């Protein structure tokens, strides 16, 4: 049965599973930290909390009971600042290796570098409980190490997709692989909570860390750097992929650094990535806080509703990718139109939703619907700017992705800190309105810049380097 499955789809599935794993162990600390921290021992100042929306009386008794359970279980006296450092310290390491991961994959291949990074990330995850008890600084150092190991993973996929995904399937295959991030976010957070609740917070790191052995074994068996190197691919499929993909003749091409640095399409990609990271990480880190402090959802509902937007994002990303590839195959629109339309939907759609959320006030149903839609529409980015690197410069897609993603990672920790500063001791509708309007404005600028300056034409300097 499995022999009838095209090898390129098997490669895409295993890559999807590995991306699922990447985001599961990246984000597990966001839920596990609730069970790690002793909240009753943390000194707090008076905080102004929004009273505009009130709080359902029936939630009070249940909320207090749940809070008491969480407070009793915690063993670390980490205030809000330390908790924030634990979360964002991942990106301090992530930024560094993002810059080089793509280039290493272009020169030496993705397969073994990816496997080594994934195993390292699993080992670090298993050691995190030990680091935590050794001291806060050791736990933060562990998170930095996790970021360093995972930083090479995402950009290394770009060269792999360039060699395995035929032009008419590029959006679908790329989107499917990267959508593992949304599935990892949804199920990772849910499973981490269940494991921590039943077996203790340490078990989350032990169990999920050990899973690296399974995902890496599958990766090494199924994934090869190109169809030419795969021992189990049919000659027919190999020729089909070769005829509709770009494969550089020389693996040691010199990177045209000056051309990349002065390329207008590359700068448009940077702006698009900066805007996307601001919105994505602002919402994934701050949405649960907004639903708790403003809309007063209880903890159980908050967890489920926080995962819902990313489930919608995953579904929409796959649907948009299928339509994008169908449009390309049928010749209904050019690749340029497809990329820019997808990016516009992914940016102006959420911008409009966040603008409306700013003025829905205490209407829980409308606010929840708009927030789910705001996150869900971001799924269109996988058919937009996120694979535009392959259009602009297939020879250096990994290098460009790594540089741009590394630089844009700044917003991954800057956005949550800005929102936290706006709402610190002022959990009010007015302060959150500023945060939502700021994010909306950034997304509008992002969409306009990519529409005006983005391109899908292969750049002359990429052609020159491969002649």
pLDDT given for residue 59 in this prediction: 47
Nearest C-alpha neighbor of 343 from the set 310, 374, 386, 398: 386
Indicate the SS3 state at residue 47: coil
Spell out the CATH class of 1-41+59-247. mainly alpha
E strands, 381-434, are 426-427
Domain spanning 249-467: which superfamily? MFS general substrate transporter like domains (1.20.1250.20)
Q: Model confidence at 70, in pLDDT bands (50, 70, 90)?
A: very low
CA 81 – CA 91 distance, rounded (Å): 16
Residue ranges per domain, the chain?
A: 1-41+59-247, 249-467
Helix or strand holding residue 44 (H, E): none
| pTM passes above 0.85 | no
Summarised one tens digit per residue, pLDDT across range 326-348 is 898 888 988 889 999 999 999 99
CA 184 – CA 174 distance, rounded (Å): 16
CA 465 – CA 467 distance, rounded (Å): 6
- The mean-pLDDT minimum among 15-19, 109-113, 215-219, 415-419 falls in 415-419
Give me the mean pLDDT over the 420-428 stretch: 75
Nearest C-alpha neighbor of 268 from the set 374, 139, 140, 404: 404
In contact, 8 and 165? CB cutoff 8 Å = yes
Task: Classify residue 382 by its DSSP letter.
Answer: G
Which residues, including other chains, have CB under 8 Å from residue 48's CB and lie 6 or more apart?
A: 425, 426, 427, 428
Q: Model confidence at 39, in pLDDT bands (50, 70, 90)?
A: low
Model confidence at 97: pLDDT above 80 = yes
Q: Which two tokens stand for residue 34?
A: 């609730």
Nearest C-alpha neighbor of 286 from the set 207, 375, 201, 211: 375
Class of residue 257 by CB neighbours under 10 A (exposed 0-12, middle 13-18, buried 19+): exposed
Model confidence at 66: pLDDT above 50 = no
Summarised one tens digit per residue, pLDDT across range 381-405 is 888 888 888 888 888 877 888 888 8
Tell me whether domains 1-41+59-247 and 249-467 share a fold. Answer: yes
Per-chain mean pLDDT for the chain: 83
């Amino acid at each position: 049965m499995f022999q009838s499955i095209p090898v390129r789809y098997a490669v895409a599935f295993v890559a999807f599973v590995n991306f699922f794993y990447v985001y599961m162990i990246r984000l597990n600390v966001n839920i596990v930290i609730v069970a790690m921290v002793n909240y009753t021992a943390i000194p707090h100042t008076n905080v102004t909390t929004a009273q505009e929306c009130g709080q359902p009386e029936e939630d009070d008794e249940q909320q207090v009971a749940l809070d008491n359970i969480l407070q009793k279980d915690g063993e670390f006296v980490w205030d809000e600042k330390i908790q924030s450092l634990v979360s964002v310290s991942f990106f301090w390491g992530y930024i560094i290796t993002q810059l080089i991961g793509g280039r290493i994959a272009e020169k030496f291949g993705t397969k073994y570098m990816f496997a080594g990074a994934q195993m390292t990330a699993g080992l670090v995850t298993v050691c995190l409980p030990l680091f935590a008890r050794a001291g806060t600084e050791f736990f933060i150092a562990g998170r930095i190490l996790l970021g360093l190991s995972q930083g090479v993973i995402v950009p290394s996929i770009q060269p792999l997709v360039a060699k395995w995904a035929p032009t008419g399937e590029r959006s679908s295959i790329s989107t499917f692989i990267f959508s593992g991030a949304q599935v990892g976010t949804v199920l990772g957070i849910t499973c981490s909570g269940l494991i921590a609740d039943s077996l203790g917070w340490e078990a989350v790191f032990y169990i999920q860390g050990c899973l690296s052995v399974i995902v890496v074994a599958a990766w090494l068996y199924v994934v090869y750097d190109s169809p030419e190197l795969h021992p189990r691919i049919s000659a027919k499929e190999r020729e089909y992929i070769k005829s509709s993909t770009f494969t550089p003749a020389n693996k040691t091409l010199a990177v045209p650094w000056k051309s990349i640095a002065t390329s207008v399409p590359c700068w448009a990609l940077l702006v698009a990535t900066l805007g996307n990271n601001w919105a994505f990480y602002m919402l994934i880190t701050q949405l649960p806080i907004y639903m708790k402090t403003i809309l007063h959802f209880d903890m159980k509902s908050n967890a489920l509703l926080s995962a819902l937007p990313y489930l919608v994002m995953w579904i929409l990303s796959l649907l948009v990718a299928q339509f994008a590839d169908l449009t390309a195959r049928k010749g209904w629109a050019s690749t340029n139109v497809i990329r820019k339309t997808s990016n516009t939907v992914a940016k102006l759609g959420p911008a409009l939703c966040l603008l409306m959320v700013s003025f829905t006030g205490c209407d829980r149903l409308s606010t929840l619907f708009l927030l789910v839609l705001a996150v869900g529409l971001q799924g269109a980015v996988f058919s937009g700017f996120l694979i535009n690197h392959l259009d602009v410069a297939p020879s250096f897609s990994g290098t460009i992705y790594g540089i741009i993603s590394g630089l844009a990672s700044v917003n991954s920790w800057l956005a949550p800190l800005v929102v936290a500063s706006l709402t610190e001791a002022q959990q009010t509708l007015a302060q959150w309105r500023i945060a939502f309007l700021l994010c909306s404005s950034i997304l509008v600028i992002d969409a306009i810049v990519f529409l005006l300056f983005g391109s899908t034409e292969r750049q002359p300097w990429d052609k020159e380097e491969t002649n």
